[in-house]
Chain A
């Protein structure tokens, strides 16, 4: 069961931690999993991403609640299970099972020099907007997505604003004696 010695491993505020999915799903048997604040997190390799999510879908996680990307450029030393090599980008998928009444989070490492991930559209058509958003704001391409275009930014926008190396806009100071942009 859950290792209580790991900080944050148990459910928050003493609630009962849900039964680990890895115990019942063969597809998850050799995939690193962890608990944080009561949520089960599955760290799966990009190659097995669709297979793992598909297995979870078959296990009752019929809705993809959320899909987003994270750019860990300036936080590469984040805590990960030993078997997982942290890459710059991460795709984070929150799946919801109505029958189990719980979420499971799938985190996929995506290297910066090959920011390509297979789409989940054919499992969950509801990720369409979310994957477009991740593409728009992070530049991560989802292969076989039916409409991989920008969704929030203008179509001719350059760059992907939520990347950590994308500058935050600053308003130039209008005083003549100002020593330049601060």
Chain B
């Protein structure tokens, strides 16, 4: 990581002068929803005319400006405000909030909803798109359809039960969720793990990364009309899920990585299972290359589509493949190593252009790097305990409960009351397949977290969507949305 990058970011020109040319009429929030975007050159009549515009499909169910309440207007227009690009300001003479987009001619725009029920939104993501013909101008992801209050729920669950809760957030990489949770709780407890527990976690985390990325390749293929890719991806993922089932008992939502170690040791013969899996997938990746990477149609649809530069990606807090495809070599496994990632050899994959194809290539090659890591883990797996031998934190073996009164008491206390970490606040972050997955825990010294907050990479990465979509075609919007790889279970929590 060079210093030049930081300088570039600090000097990037999209950041508005504090207070300088910003409009004092900007929708302040302290005075309610405010007068959104009524400023600038676009008059009220002009706006009304714009929103009355009908298409051949009839009225798009947008009410007249006068009849739309202010909050709704903010949502409909807000996206331009949140495009911190030079371009956004340059083509928008009305300044932030103007509805017309001078760059795109006569201002005959149409707003359509993509989702929440749409196969390409990978869940219940709704994106409002403002279209000029087939070109996307503004867009706004609307989330919350899957909000189940997991952060509130966590305040009612003990630290032992917490892993069961968090594993359901990012359902494509449940083990990484558990890992972030466990690392945060262990940081709070200040316990050191046995080496084997660390390496088992690394193995499972990398296998999970592979399964998540091939799953992404599958759905991405489906979005780009390659059903073969979909079948391929699901096929490869199934192998890994079978291994997970053998190891953890469950295909998903494993509750396997727990504070203090892992739930059980690896099954006998796991080396062979894992080797077969990674050898097979390594070969299949070459099939992916034949099917997609070199295929003209796929490249046409992905190259030069949805470009985001490093400065903007960093400013938008984007992480994971989006950031790396933009050329920033930032991977927490390498940069701030956790577990034993500093003891294995792997490369951080970066792109050059930051387009949809780069994000595809980064993920595909990250699978190859994960395979490298898995092979080294198989080679170097240390012996010893798979969990901390502190009976206040991890349960005794099942057989001991029949023999030892003390073991029975420990078991009972752990599962009814759990343990009580010292009061304090910790933030632990890992590199999940989607980016930086962070867990912030506030403890008040009781057996339940006082507050649990998740920094979900999908939630944060979705902010880049308006920047990625701007100026692209509607058909490309599907490819771009897919390349962001949001998991709505984690976005909405």
**Chain A contacts to B: CB under 8 angstroms:** 7-8, 12-13, 36-37, 39, 41, 57-58, 60, 62-66, 68, 70-71, 74-75, 78-79, 92, 94, 97-99, 101-103, 105, 116, 122-130, 133, 135, 137, 141-155, 161-162, 168
Contact = CB atoms under 8 A, between A and B. Distances in A.
B317 A126 contact: yes
Contacts of A94: 427, 438, 440, 455
B426 A65 contact: no
A78 B451 CA distance: 13
A75 B28 contact: no
Contacts of A155: 71
Given A7-B422, A98-B330, A98-B335, A65 B74 contact: no
A143 B30 CA distance: 6
Given A65-B436, A94-B438, A144-B26, A36 B425 contact: yes
Nearest to B2: A99
A161 B462 contact: no
Given A98-B5, A129-B463, A147-B78, A62 B156 contact: no
B372 interface: no
Contact of B10 (A8, A62, A129): A62
B75 A149 contact: yes
Contacts of A71: 451
B81 interface: yes
Contacts of A126: 315-318, 460, 463
B1 interface: yes
A146 B96 contact: yes
B13 to A, nearest CB: 13
B190 A12 contact: yes
Interface in B418-438: 422-427, 429, 436, 438
Interface of B: 1-3, 5-6, 9-10, 15-16, 18, 26-30, 33, 71, 74-75, 78, 81-82, 84, 96, 143-144, 147, 149, 151-152, 156, 187-188, 190, 192, 314-318, 328, 330, 335-336, 422-427, 429, 436, 438, 440, 442, 444, 450-451, 453, 455, 459-460, 462-463, 492-493
A125 B28 contact: no
Given A57-B10, A122-B16, A124-B317, A98 B460 contact: no
B153 to A, nearest CB: 9
B438 A161 contact: no
Contacts of A102: 336
